[in-house]
Amino acid sequence: MSAGRKLRITPEARRWLEKRGGEVTLRPSPRHGCCGGTAEVPVAEARRPARSAEYETIEIGSVRVHLAHALGLEGPMEVRLETLMGFGRLFVEAVGPQRAEAADQQESKDV
């Protein structure tokens, strides 16, 4: 992972991933517009990638993260968990510097 890139996993997402094997894959997923055009949106999946050669593997706390070389995002990213009626879903998004700083302060309280 390059020095200019930072990845954070929220405490809720970390605990959820630990219960499901402690691995997460971050990869680009194409989204097509209604009038043409395609955008690669980052997605997070609680699993090991099928082709590990296409990923960089790093450890963040107790979670093994498989980061796709093709993701190509610059700047801080955050993996978070959203739940509805007992079902969980991971999200990954780029975060701005102020949000990343606030999240770091909150995480130090969570640890």
pLDDT averages per 10-residue partition of the chain, 111 residues: 65 95 93 83 92 91 92 82 89 68 50 41
| Structural domain containing residue 61 | 7-110
pLDDT at 96: 64
- Looking from the CA of 90 toward its CB, the CA atoms found within 13 Å total 25
pLDDT at 4: 32
Whole-number pLDDT of residue 84: 87
The CATH number of residue 16's host domain is 2.60.300
Q: Contact, 23 vs 69, CB < 8 A?
A: no
Number of domains in the chain: 1
The answer to whether residue 82 sits within a structural domain is yes
pLDDT for 73 equals: 64
pTM: 0.76
Residue 17 resides in a domain: yes
Residue 13 contacts residue 77 (beta carbons within 8 Å): no
Q: Cα Rg for the chain, rounded, in angstroms?
A: 14
Does any domain span residue 2? no
